[in-house]
Amino acid sequence: MCNLYSIRKSRDELIRLFKLAEVDEGVSFDLPAVFPDTMAPVVTLNQNGARRLTMMRWGFPPPPKGGPRPVANVRNTQSSFWRNWLKPEYRCLVPATSFCEWTDARPKVPHWFALNDKRPPFAFAGLWRPWSGERKGISGEHRLYAFLTTDSNDIVRPVHAKAMPAMLCEEEAWDCWLTGPPEEALKLQYPPEPLRLDIIAKGELEDRGLG
């Protein structure tokens, strides 16, 4: 389960990489630590089918018997809870440059993973939805997101065996996730090749969001 990631890139870099046609006012950039129930930039498609960068809050409302915590990660996409949100209009890209997993064994040690030590951006395969209620003391209309997880690969498994985020690293995958039919888009829910990932930092210092 991934509960911490970073997006350490500027506005211009994200516009260029994700070919953004529109950026909402108030979008934050260069975020060293994104936690569940905080705001972060997300890529969706606007009414013209062009890519738009906007801010959303991380975490879907939990299912009826799921407890009080927002749902940050989506593993079982066959569940009826997620069926409606797998439509193309509710899929999104969640830009990131690294993500953190803690060791399964105690003491829990955070490890930061990235595509390499230069930390080029990638995207998590995300879902979003509108929602009305109270989050973080703010009542009203919200836009919420979560992202898919998949089996841990050989780099992540020794740290966190259960799962890792579903990472989309190429333009072709971004297009398929945003616009493809569900059966094609869900084929992207698989781990990246181990050689693509590096552990770029670990230990208590990184636990404070310096990844």
Q: Which is it for the CA torsion 154, 155, 157, 162, positive or negative?
A: negative
pLDDT the model gives residue 34:
97
- Report the mean per-residue pLDDT for the chain: 93
Q: For the segment 176-192, what is each residue's pLDDT rounded down to a tens digit?
A: 999 999 999 999 999 99
Choose the weakest-confidence range: 68-72, 110-114, 153-157, 184-188. 68-72
Which amino acid makes up residue 177? W
pTM: 0.94
Count of other CB atoms within 10 angstroms of residue 176: 18
State percent of the chain over pLDDT 90: 86
pLDDT the model gives residue 67:
79
The pLDDT of residue 142 is above 70: yes
pLDDT the model gives residue 204:
64
Dist CA 89 CA 95 (whole Å): 18
- Using DSSP, state whether 98 is helix, strand or coil: strand
Q: What is the mean pLDDT of residues 54-65?
A: 92
The pLDDT of residue 55 is above 50: yes
Dist CA 58 CA 95 (whole Å): 13
pLDDT the model gives residue 209:
46
Dist CA 32 CA 97 (whole Å): 9
Query: pLDDT-derived band of residue 208, with 50, 70 and 90 as boundaries?
Result: very low
All structural domains of the chain, each given as residue ranges with its CATH number in brackets, are 5-62+71-208 (3.90.1680.10)
SS (H, E, C) 147-177: EEEECCCCCCCCCCCCCEECEECCHHHHHHH
Q: What is the mean pLDDT of residues 106-125?
A: 94
State percent of the chain over pLDDT 70: 96
